[in-house]
Structure 1
Amino acid sequence: MDDGDFIKEDVFSEWATDSSGLRGEFLNQWFDRQLHYTAATCLNSSIGNYTKAYETWKRNYNIIKAIKRILPSRRINYTIMDMGCGTGYHLFSLNARFKLLDCQLVGMDLAKLDIFFAEEIKKKLNTGNLQFVVGDATDSGLPGESFDLILCSELLVHIKNPYKCIAEIKRLLKPGGHCIISTPNKDNWMIKLGNFFKRLSLRAPGEQAYSTEEGEIISVKGTKEWKDIFKDQDLKLKKLYRGSPIWGGGDRYNRQRIFFAFLLITDKILDWLPFTKNISENVVYLVQKSKP
């Protein structure tokens, strides 16, 4: 597969000479974003948020487990896409962890700013087997049946019609190809408990319901809904991994270190018990496209 096979739009054609001022524009956008993130972090007391850090670690741990389950020992011409790649965190990490030098890795995101920085990181790391493109997850315009594995981490929650995204994933997957999907779980019992306390006008125990005001979270579904969507698209669910039971944590939890220790022990036990998938703020699905 040639390096140019997936290139749709050259966002950076004039960046090297800066004749268009594109570099300055992107740097200004990045600076504004950092200001926003820093302010949000301070206001939300995210500094020292152990439960939030554990939530993120558990999600990434489950993604790694799913990849280990399906990644072949012979990877020549194996193609991987990260749909909604952001600045390329997952692709750079996987490339280093699994030594995917014989694979073709493609990151796609709708945000030109993220793709800009992904390209800059790529230059710094000298990773020639990675490629980044600007594209829409519901209509990428990329060739069909191009990828052996598609990673879709925390993307569907930001898409108004995630069904179209699943259909696009199916189109892009090779027959027998896999997709790893990470997304929040609406059926999480802790979220429901938090909503119950909220309706009673009480402070939820460190748990907040999903909000559309922060991070544009607009599409949260439960495990049954996702299973039905996968079935409609003829994608077989191979494995479901449960995440942390806590959504984002909170000051009350973070002030009590013994609670965090209790959370770690309890979560490990829940991983071994049946019928605990919905004591989970996030679920990782491993699905496979059927062969003809």
Structure 2
Amino acid sequence: MSASYTANFTNPSAFILLGIPGLEGAHVWISIPFCTMYAIAVLGNSAILFIVKREPSLHGPMYYFLSMLAFIDLALSTCTLPKTLSIFWFNSREIDFNACLTQMYFLRCSSMMESGILVAMAFDRYVAICDPLRHCTILTNSVVAKIGLAVVLRGGVLVLPFPLLARNLPYCRTNIIPHSSCEHMAVVKLACADTRINSYYGLFVASFLPGLDVIFITVSYTQILRAIFSLPTKDARLKTFNTCISHLCAILVFYITIIFSSLTYRFGHNIALWVHVLISNLYSLVPPMLNPIIYGVRTKQLQNSLFQLVTHKGT
């Protein structure tokens, strides 16, 4: 490593991202699954956005929320993966200080927004199953737009202190970030000042707010299951429950990966650094890749629309 990477300084103009420390020699090989997952995420979520926009029969609350989820997944993966791949392929490790803070903001913001959209989708399923006759009158286009705006504002406002607090810290030790992206705590640990406020606020946003979202989702599905089990026949119960499978899978994929990543980073002190970095990439790669696959496989309307699109272009 060059001396310019390790020299002491004050308030850097740029940081150096190491990629995956300890696995530098395997970066090219690691880039293959990373690039594959990113390509699937981009193609899958772009296809959902295109199909929903093109097909009038999909212009309803469920698919509007799915489109929001697809857009957020594109932002979540794109804010980190292109830079990560440039490190793997071209050894392009330097990132401007402001660009680093911007990446930090959008990484956290996209994660918060995805959690909020999953709550909105749970509410949509609750109304559709527990009060189906009023579904269209409760979740009008105007209400869906307001819910989407509320999710964006919640994520944008609550995450804003992360880069603002990090920007005001003095950095006088090193500008080397042992990570593949500008993850909040990885940057804050480089500061030569008291960072307890950053840590406490990060813990609050990472645990308390998603915890509230999980509670709202749990309450919604408790009511949904009660409504399903009150249906008279087994076929009716299965058919109704099948409308929730895709959303439940998306919930499990998102929260399991982000909780596992957070717990490993905060409490896995005996785990190798390269394991921490790999796991921290999960929540920006796995949900964006799997969500379009889950909804594509489980949702017949999307399958039919995609089939019609492909056959139409083929004729």
Common fold: TM-score over 0.5: no
Bigger Cα Rg: 2
Q: Which has the higher helix share?
A: 2
* Greater relative contact order (Cα < 8 A, sep 6+): 2
Q: TM-score, normalised by structure 2?
A: 0.28
Q: TM-score, normalised by structure 1?
A: 0.30
